[in-house]
Amino acid sequence: MAMTPEETLKKRWGYDSFKPLQKEAVEAALTGRDCLVVLPTGGGKSLCYQLPAAMGKGLVLVVSPLIALMDDQVAAAREAGLAADALHSNLKSGPKREAYRNLASGRTELLYASPERLLVGDLAGELAARAVLIAVDEAHCVSHWGHEFRPEYRRLAEAMERVPKAARMALTATATPAVQEDIRVQLALREPAVFVGHPDRPNLIYRAFPRRDQFKQALEIVRRHSGEGGIVYAQTRKDVERLAAGLKEAGVSCAPYHAGLAAQERRKAQEDFVGERLDVIVATIAFGMGIDRSNVRCVVHANTPRSVEHYQQESGRAGRDGLPAECVLFFAASDLAAHRYLAKKDLLSPERERAVERQLREIGRYAVAPVCRHSLLAAHFGAPYPPVKSGSAAAPVPAGNSVKEAGAGGYPQPEEARGCGACDVCLGETKGLPEEEARLTAKKALSAAWRTEGRFGTGYIVKLLLGKEDERITRYGHDKLQVFGLLKDAGEAAVRSWIDQLIVQDFLEIVDDRLYPLLRITAAGRALCRDEGSVRLGVPVPPRAGAKSKKKVKKAGRTLAAVLRTEDEELFERLRTLRRSIADKAGIPPYVIFHDSVLIEMAASKPQTLYHLRVIKGIGEHKLEKYGRLFLDVIAGESPAVG
């Protein structure tokens, strides 16, 4: 008698129940219906196509642009007992021949292929005969409106037409309503079922602060997660090298990762990070990384990414195992100017230029808004916050609810007072100025740009507002202006942050002069000076001195140590050591063996038999048979023989 999806889930993956919308997606695939699946990172998208393959209904083809990840994905599927292979340009001749043999013999249940490999066309015969499902992962890459558009994705519909009987499943973690519609059209999904999960990641704590000292700020976060996995994103290769060198000197186990490094050096850095031989990787935000390590405990953006979609995906690499993790963004308006400059060099179409400009404004607003970060991210993807609780998972949400379209200054208005307890705003680390104080402060800063006729840069305006002695200010007679020293009590950091906030709210603009960027007031800024319109300004709250402040930071940081009891930490580390030893010998990432959540439960419950070990979530029959005795030996205090 054939097993049900629930029975297969328990047998292969060791879980008693599905995550939201997984079962609905699986059932759609099993009945041959096309579907669009939008689930947040960590929401279990891979299970939506792996489980149909495990039920023996036929071959499942997975199209993915992440060649660097395919071998790890194949390893993870094999650990669940699936007959899985991959075909891509980086595959060596031996594994390639084996994959073809398995496919020809009918043994393959799950086949991963890059879009380029699929478009060659030589797989069409085998796929047409056996494929029951074609799953397109990272489906946002098909959309011009998305953040990682790839032209070859536009041709996937053409390739799928050669396998007309196979159901089509498009999967992504980041898709606005506009991108969802583009996916449906470009992949020619046929009357698809649409499953859109809520984008919120409740296990993540989001923080966004003005950038002061890039290295010191990044180091503070990394040290908060000492000995745990972390990713630091920077804007340029030079920044990556500088930050990585500084972190190494400070005693952090880390390596750089960017397109300018030799392929072998990049590959080693990635393998060491995924293999947990390296704690932190420092990478350019412009260079895509095939990182699937499940226990990343912090993601730091030392520069602002290009869009909210980029930020959602990059920060989403934290806490993929569902355990607490921290995401911190350090913002400066100059980052947006740099992205704008690079976009102009690419000679984009007018339509694409407008899309890029919209994306830059939206990420800028996210970074400076004194509003709950979780609610801002949810609003960008058209979802309510807090999530609406219902009998199943979140339902599809309507379009037209993005950050840009929601209220004055681009900030969402409804329900924003509800705190998440998991971001710098709701934790009291950033506070919004009262409405009248924000308006008065903004008018002072705007007046400085207005009175100087837009002929000077940001640094000059900051000095003017602080009342600093400066030869140029005296020469131009600006020390006689009423705006001279108007914000001297606020401090330089606050003034610079407010100017950045006024820029992203369109009250100020940076204009490229032939010599240097100039700061000018906009029409909206002049209107605000006449008390027309509204403005919001936030300011970081300095940590209080003393033990209470340190305790608050630790609690807000949600370190992994807080999940474990002190007496269980040593056993957890011994279980991690065993997992790493097994993974190293097998040449696979440790998370493929077991996630941290499984090891934590082992350390806490200390099972003594295979029967009790089987109860732990995430241990399927294949892994129980393969690894159970080894982990029971460690729990019993013995030294396991890893062979």
Q: What pLDDT, in 10s, does the model give residues 484-527?
A: 999 999 999 899 999 999 998 999 998 876 667 899 999 999 99
Q: Could you give the angle at which helices 67-79 and 621-635 cross, rounded to 10 degrees?
A: 80
Structure token pair of residue 289: 């990384």
Looking at residue 392, its pLDDT comes to 36
Residues 187-196: pLDDT tens digits?
999 999 999 9
Q: What is 204-385+396-411+419-430's CATH topology?
A: Rossmann fold (3.40.50)
For residues 328 and 369, the model is more confident at 328
Looking at residue 88, its pLDDT comes to 87
Lowest mean pLDDT among 175-179, 351-355, 414-418, 488-492: 414-418
Using alpha carbons, select from 597, 588, 579 the residue that is nearest to residue 634.
579
Using alpha carbons, select from 564, 587, 586, 597 the residue that is nearest to residue 630.
586
146 has pLDDT over 80: no
Q: Of all residues in the chain, what percent carry a pLDDT higher than 70?
A: 90
Looking at residue 396, its pLDDT comes to 39
Looking at residue 134, its pLDDT comes to 96
For residues 639 and 431, the model is more confident at 431
Looking at residue 144, its pLDDT comes to 67
Q: What is 435-539's CATH topology?
A: Arc Repressor Mutant, subunit A (1.10.10)
| Eight-state DSSP code of residue 57 | S
Over range 574-580, report the average pLDDT.
95
For residues 267 and 622, the model is more confident at 622
Alpha helices (H) in 225-370, listed in sequence order? 237-249, 263-274, 308-315, 333-345, 350-368
Q: Which residues, at least 6 apart from 435, have a Cβ–Cβ distance to it below 8 Å? A: 534
Q: Could you count the other beta carbons within 10 Å of the beta carbon of residue 77?
A: 25
Q: Strands 280-284 and 229-234, how do they pair?
A: parallel
Over range 290-304, report the average pLDDT.
89
From first CA to last CA, the distance across the chain in angstroms is 37
For residue 414, cis peptide bond before it (omega within 30 degrees of 0): no
Looking at residue 46, its pLDDT comes to 94
Looking at residue 547, its pLDDT comes to 39
What are the respective helix, strand and coil percentages of the chain, to the nearest 5? 45, 15, 40
> What does the alpha-carbon distance between residue 146 and residue 151 come to, in Å, rounded to a whole number?
12
418 pLDDT band (50/70/90 cuts)?
Answer: low
357 pLDDT band (50/70/90 cuts)?
Answer: confident
For residues 391 and 318, the model is more confident at 318
Looking at residue 45, its pLDDT comes to 93
Ordered by start, the domain boundaries in the chain are 5-196, 204-385+396-411+419-430, 435-539, 564-635
Q: Of all residues in the chain, what percent carry a pLDDT higher than 90?
A: 66
395 has pLDDT over 70: no
Burial class (CB in 10 A: 0-12, 13-18, 19+), 639: exposed
5-196: in CATH 3.40.50.10420:
no
> What does the alpha-carbon distance between residue 452 and residue 460 come to, in Å, rounded to a whole number?
10
> What does the alpha-carbon distance between residue 394 and residue 384 come to, in Å, rounded to a whole number?
10
> What does the alpha-carbon distance between residue 197 and residue 40 come to, in Å, rounded to a whole number?
7
Domain 5-196 and domain 435-539 have a common topology: no
Q: Strands 517-521 and 508-512, how do they pair?
A: antiparallel
DSSP string, 342-353: HHHHTT--HHHH
560 pLDDT band (50/70/90 cuts)?
Answer: low
Looking at residue 177, its pLDDT comes to 87
The hierarchical CATH code for the domain 564-635 is 1.10.150.80
Residues 159-190: pLDDT tens digits?
999 999 999 999 998 888 888 999 999 999 99
Against a cut of 0.95, is the pTM above it? no
Over range 210-226, report the average pLDDT.
95
Looking at residue 75, its pLDDT comes to 92
549 has pLDDT over 50: no
Looking at residue 18, its pLDDT comes to 96
Length of the chain: 643
